[in-house]
Amino acid sequence: MKRKYQAIAAVSVAAVLTCGVFAGCDLVTQDVAKNMNQEIAVIDITKSDDFTGEGQFADYKSVISPATIYKRDMMMTYMTSGYSAMQQSGWSYADTFEAICDSLVNQQIFLQYAQAYLLKNGYTNENGETTPYTVEKLNTYLEENEGDEVAYLSYYLTEEERGQTEYNLKVFFNNTLDAQEPNYVKGTEDEEDEDTSSDSRTTPTGIGTEDEDYYDPNYKIFTGTGKTTDISSAVAAECGSYEAVEGSTSTSRRSAYGDFLSGLRNNSLLRKNEDVTDISSLSYYKLQRKTMYESALISKLTESLEYYAEQKLKEDDYAWAKALFNEQYNEQKGTYEKDTDAFETALDSVSDTNFLLYTPDVKYGFVINILLPFSATQSAQLSKADADFGDKKGNKFETRARLLKGLKATDQRGAWFGGDTEYPFEAAEEDGAYKGESEDRNWLFFKDQLAGADGKTDSEYEPVKNYIGKYTYNGTVVDKGDGKYKTTPNKITIDDFIDEMKGYMKAAAELDITDDTKQVGESYYTHPYTDYYGADGKPDYSKFLYYEGKVKFTEDYDVNKIFKYGTEENKAFSVINELSFAYNTDTAGLNSYLGYAVSPYKTDFVKEFEWAAQKAVSGGAGTITVAPSDYGWHIMYCTFSYAGGKEHSVYTFNKDEVLTEGTFSYQWFESLKSSTASNYASRMRSQAITSYDTEACCTVHKERYEDWSSIT
């Protein structure tokens, strides 16, 4: 699994190198070296008044050096991000290189400001601990690391942060080569047995997300050739936690590395006489390394600025935060108690960063919908069937009921087996896997991301949220080796599903589903069509309800805790969410925040669905209903129900829970903190750039990249 940003940037570079866009557009003149070494801009903010006399940074002028931007820097930025931005935005070359120049100048201004700021103020982390920096210590560090071109940046980073930066750099290069290597990997013959690995299936949000603080000190770049150093190796097995692409060999990797070097050469980013056997000696590697350290330092300053802004929210016992919470509630109340349409529009936008604090005096809520579908044959039979006698709208309730009896659902996670995924693993006894009625069910998913008792993992990956991970694949699995599997799902009825749901809720969440449970059974499928209509001749949708139950929580349901790991509210939600990933064919509902928003009024949902969803919401969080539509069975679980009519928020802002991950107070404060801190950091960056983007501090030679800007 790859770090997302590094993978995207690396694939972009690989695409540019492969398509040869630079050579094709004549971006490079014949005098290559002279052209690429032209100075585009020189930035020196120490020429401002802030660094003279009584200026705020006068004491640090001697250790902040001018920065020179070369034409090759523009080329590298074009490859990494400029080309993709140009394609997505429809920019001209002139637009693109103008934007690249502005970005590079602004970056260097802010980097120099960052050094001055940190020398003056130090760095304060999220725990309020401040690390001081001094001119004396900086000079000592530079002497000790003489020859390291990024020492003036790395001084401000901790050993761990330097390790993370070097790791990110090597991940970037491996991802770049990974994107090119499949062109040289020999294909494999198709297996005769059916293999479901080519299918697709949505995975829970966060799968493959590495802990942002993780790095592997033994990680190396796999080049397939050259010297084995601390940076790279010719053998994939010597590259720490790096995982080679499927079918990779040293030969295919050498070919990919050769293409990479050729691309650099074609775009004038590989100089003559460079030692290509040592990737760390390449000028392009050094440019990327410098860029990585620049980003790390800017991130560090940004974090310090954000911490300052966050403290303003916490002052006077969170007085400002409390006032903002009440202000938002009153604003929403003033709007939504008079405008139901506006409230329903807002309801559809609820997320972990966008909250509805007020609700009108009616029942609104959210449901997870698990759709167990009719087969194609059954759908065709229903389509061709005659309408119920006398029904002018063409309803076929009696036929549908008979077809529902034969509806068989299957576990959809067969697609998570095979291919290049690392999802499946065979459960051991200590994994506590839930197997239903079959001891032969042994396969689970996402081993490295399943949370332990403390909500954390023992791996480099973040724990997957709202997913317990003990529900085994409901079917048989044959491991054929080499990452290939034969999967055969079991076929289950609606009664089987309900048994699985109740059993897993008990096993994984230690909760029962009871409270006026209704399960119709065999008689449901033999009703005459007349039973589905009321005295007025209209369908009576209560007659379609097959099952109703409710999770029995030991205490009153607390809406503030639905996302807090380990609570009953979160355990129940996680069970249903996991079953949804297993069986749900309504893929639009996967990875939704709370599920479908449900109004107590007329909706656009099909009527049977609408009635059952409203029934679930009216029963409150934890209520489960099962009803059909022409698509199949719908299992609905109410995740959240607005009480309505309260003179205070449905949520409670509790300052003592702002550090407790998963609580409403944590989510709301994180959202508030994020926007406030981000806005403050952005404002400070803009102010710094505006203050030093002057003729005295910045000299820019736009005419020196005019040959690129003029390309059409």
Q: State the alpha helices, DSSP H only, in 222-249.
A: none
Chain centroid to CA 379: how far? 36
The three-class DSSP label of residue 69 is strand
Which residues have C-beta within 8 Å of that of residue 691, sequence separation ≥ 6?
Answer: 48, 50
Query: Does one domain contain both 62 and 136?
Result: yes
Residue 368 covered by a domain: yes
CA distance 582 to 580: 5
CA distance 145 to 204: 45
For position 645, what pLDDT does the model report?
47
81: DSSP letter:
I
Residue 704 covered by a domain: yes
Q: What is the pTM of this model?
A: 0.74
For position 4, what pLDDT does the model report?
45
CA distance 73 to 287: 8
Residue 649 covered by a domain: no
Count structural domains, the chain.
2
Residue 425 covered by a domain: no
Residue of 642, 408, 395, 409 lying closest to 543 (CA atoms): 395
pLDDT per residue as tens digits for the range 619-678: 999 999 999 999 999 999 999 888 654 555 678 888 899 888 889 999 999 888 888 888
The strand pairing partners of 597, in sequence order, are 366
Residue 371 covered by a domain: yes
Q: Token pair of 424, please?
A: 């499946």
For position 709, what pLDDT does the model report?
82
Structural domain harbouring 16: 4-185+245-306+687-709
Bridge pairing between strands 512-519 and 475-481 = unpaired
Query: Does one domain contain both 296 and 384?
Result: no
Residue 559 covered by a domain: yes
Print burial letters for 317-354: b (CB count within 10 Å at least 16), e (below 16). ebeebeebbeebbeebbeebeeeeeebbebbeeeeeee
Q: Token pair of 278, please?
A: 């040592």
CA distances from 303 to 130, 231, 307, 637, 674 (A): 12, 29, 6, 40, 11
Is residue 364 a contact partner of residue 644, using CB atoms and an 8 Å limit?
yes
Query: Does one domain contain both 59 and 142?
Result: yes
Residue 512 covered by a domain: yes
Residue 393 covered by a domain: yes
Query: Does one domain contain both 54 and 151?
Result: yes
Residue of 77, 145, 110, 15 lying closest to 284 (CA atoms): 77
Number of residues that make up the chain: 712
Which residues have C-beta within 8 Å of that of residue 96, sequence separation ≥ 6?
Answer: 78, 82, 83, 85, 86
Which residues have C-beta within 8 Å of that of residue 558, sequence separation ≥ 6?
Answer: 567, 569
For position 707, what pLDDT does the model report?
86
For position 234, what pLDDT does the model report?
92
Q: Residue 504 is inside which H or E element, if any?
A: helix 494-509
Of 591, 610, 643, which marks where a domain is finished?
Answer: 643
Q: State the alpha helices, DSSP H only, in 642-710.
A: 664-692, 706-709
Query: Does one domain contain both 606 and 693?
Result: no
Query: Does one domain contain both 604 and 697?
Result: no
Query: Does one domain contain both 51 and 159?
Result: yes
Of 643, 670, 695, which marks where a domain is finished?
Answer: 643
CA distance 435 to 438: 6
Positive or negative, the CA dihedral 297, 302, 308, 313 is: negative
Query: Does one domain contain both 59 and 160?
Result: yes
Query: Does one domain contain both 262 and 159?
Result: yes
Long-range contacts of the stretch 389-393 (C-beta < 8 A, 24+): 389/529, 391/529
CA distance 538 to 331: 41
Query: Does one domain contain both 164 and 271?
Result: yes
pLDDT per residue as tens digits for the range 474-511: 999 999 887 889 999 999 999 999 999 999 999 999 99
Query: Does one domain contain both 51 and 170?
Result: yes
Return the ∠ at Cα 683 (arms to 680 and 684), rounded to 5°.
85
Query: Does one domain contain both 625 and 696?
Result: no
- Euclidean distance between the first and final Cα of the chain, in Å? 39
The three-class DSSP label of residue 552 is strand
CA distances from 236 to 131, 176, 244 (A): 39, 15, 7
Residue of 22, 63, 70 lying closest to 44 (CA atoms): 63
CA distance 624 to 569: 14
Q: Give pLDDT < 50 ranges for the chain.
A: 1-5, 20-29, 188-198, 645
Q: Which residue matches tokens 């549908």?
A: 400
